[in-house]
Amino acid sequence: MSKKLTMPKNVTVIGLGYVGLPLALAFSRELPTTGFDIDASRVGELLAGTDRNREVAESEITSSNLTLTTDASCVADAAFIVVTVPTPVTEDHKPDLSMLESASMMIGSQLCERSEGLPVPIIVYESTTYPGCTEEFCGPIIERESGLKAGEGFFLGYSPERTNFGDPEHTLETVIKVVSGETPEVAKTVSYTYGLIAKAGTHMAPNIKTAEASKVIENVQRDLNIALFNELAMIFDRMDIQSSDVFEAASTKWNFHRYQPGLVGGHCIPVDPYYLTYAASKLGHDSKVILSGRSVNDSMPEFIAAKAGSLLRSQGIDPNSAAVLILGAAFKKDVVDIRNSKAIVLAERLAIRFGSVRIYDPLIEGVEVERDGARFAMIDDPLDSGVKYDLIVLAVAHSEFVVFVNRLEELLSHDGVVMDLTGTFTPGSNNKTLSDVWTL
């Protein structure tokens, strides 16, 4: 270990969302840790022990040694700084680096106030981005704002987040952590520091670009795999073949890997591919396969809405006067986040074709959700209302829906239709509702 680089004595995590909060809490069990967020309401609720994302229990927050603040000066003397801000895309599917830029500017400006004699800080980015972003975009911003030089006045690292929202099995402690640094020595220090909390171990990538690339292709691969099964489901629907039966038969071969077709939303899988295709386009490469998969997955709400109209007409129900209930508004199972939710996109597509569209999601607070100016009513438990629906769409397989789905016949109008987009129902069940359900 050089004189400039020492094992970190404290940690500061920038951004306290789905990724940053669990990370900060984990570090706080090993080292003095500060969690910083620019959102005062977020910090306030955490100080009160409440996590709006419902990923962390109140007792875990209130019993921790984590310091929470909106004061950026906490960065000035930090030894190990971790950036976990969101990296969305713009309307035209280009990387939106505005939050990375703001965080990097803030870090740079605070390093100007750093106390003399402290070890050189390590700044690790966890935000998903394209290969080269950490060193070619973030680093120069810190240099400009601080007057320091990367590799001398501060060191850069990258360790991609692998948070799977709503999944209690694959956690920070149980998943191998990929780590990297701008030099082998920095990488070793980053590995040591994350090793304090990543009980499954760390994997040291040879450089930062490799670590960045590894993260983005994890979600590219999943996006493409789901796109393949979505396209297969659309093909088999035209052939009047039950796709789940096909997949079950094919799964008897040892090297067939099955995926569940359905809606692909959120701020990871449908976003991250555009970071790689953007970088590829800058190098003159047209990412045909990746973009084709994105197109297939983005087309699913329209396909399902069109299919719903066809199913209702076959039952003698006029779509223009049909009442529709969508079960689930979140972007995935057992989360409270509706950002980039394709269930809401589906609601928009259905609203064009049908009389009324309502949404029930027991995890989402509020009386309505909005997309592109269109508002959709969020209702309380529909089993208590007595209202009958001509079309019920199970869009998100929340655990709370497991018992609920077995009572759907109580909500269904005569000749009404149930569509399952999640693989929850078992075709051929003796249950009257299940025997009539349309599934992907």
Looking at the fold, whether 178 and 266 belong to one and the same domain comes out as no
Looking at the fold, whether 264 and 155 belong to one and the same domain comes out as no
Domain-embedded: residue 384? yes
Domain that holds residue 203: 11-210
- Amino acid occupying residue 45: E
Looking at the fold, whether 239 and 329 belong to one and the same domain comes out as yes
Looking at the fold, whether 154 and 242 belong to one and the same domain comes out as no
Looking at the fold, whether 167 and 237 belong to one and the same domain comes out as no
Domain-embedded: residue 2? no
| β-sheet bridge partners, residue 158 | 125, 180
Q: Which residues are catalytic?
A: 268
Say what the pTM is: 0.93
Q: Where are the beta strands (DSSP E) in 84-176?
A: 122-125, 155-158
Query: Residue written as tokens 């927050």?
Result: 61
Domain CATH for 135: 3.40.50.720
Domain-embedded: residue 193? yes
Return the closest-CA partner of residue 12 out of 126, 181, 173, 151.
126
Domain-embedded: residue 385? yes
CA dist 249 and 253 (Å) reads: 8
Residues 6 or more apart whose CB falls under 8 angstroms from that of 250 comprise: 256, 258
Looking at the fold, whether 307 and 266 belong to one and the same domain comes out as yes
On whether the CB atoms of residues 85 and 100 are closer than 8 A, the answer is yes
- pLDDT tens by residue, 165-203: 777 788 888 899 999 999 999 999 999 999 999 999 999
How many other CB atoms sit within 10 Å of the CB of residue 437?
A: 20
CA dist 222 and 349 (Å) reads: 25
pLDDT for the residue 274:
98
- Amino acid occupying residue 54: R
H and E: helices and strands count for the chain: 15, 15
Domain-embedded: residue 289? yes
On whether the CB atoms of residues 398 and 333 are closer than 8 A, the answer is yes
Domain ends where: 177, 210, 243? Answer: 210
Domain-embedded: residue 424? yes
Helices (H), 168-271: 184-195, 208-238, 243-250
Structural domain count, the chain: 2
pLDDT for the residue 172:
87
Looking at the fold, whether 158 and 291 belong to one and the same domain comes out as no
On whether the CB atoms of residues 16 and 52 are closer than 8 A, the answer is no
DSSP summary character for residue 384: G
**Angle, alpha carbons 18-339-419 (nearest 5°):** 115
Looking at the fold, whether 320 and 198 belong to one and the same domain comes out as no
Please identify every stretch of the chain with a pLDDT value under 50, giving residue numbers as ranges.
1-3, 430, 432-434
Looking at the fold, whether 201 and 233 belong to one and the same domain comes out as no
Domain ends where: 182, 210, 238? Answer: 210
Looking at the fold, whether 204 and 249 belong to one and the same domain comes out as no
Looking at the fold, whether 35 and 116 belong to one and the same domain comes out as yes
Domain-embedded: residue 93? yes
Domain ends where: 210, 243, 272? Answer: 210
- pLDDT tens by residue, 146-166: 999 999 999 999 999 997 777
pLDDT for the residue 403:
75
4 by DSSP, 3-state: which? coil
Domain-embedded: residue 220? no
| β-sheet bridge partners, residue 177 | 202
Query: Residue written as tokens 């599917």?
Result: 93
Return the closest-CA partner of residue 327 out of 218, 425, 222, 244.
425
206 by DSSP, 3-state: which? coil
Tell me how far the alpha carbon of residue 364 is from its chain's centroid. 16
CA dist 34 and 24 (Å) reads: 7
Read off the tokens for 277: 């295709």
Looking at the fold, whether 62 and 24 belong to one and the same domain comes out as yes
Tell me how far the alpha carbon of residue 392 is from its chain's centroid. 26
On whether the CB atoms of residues 418 and 408 are closer than 8 A, the answer is yes
Read off the tokens for 359: 């949404």
pLDDT for the residue 368:
67
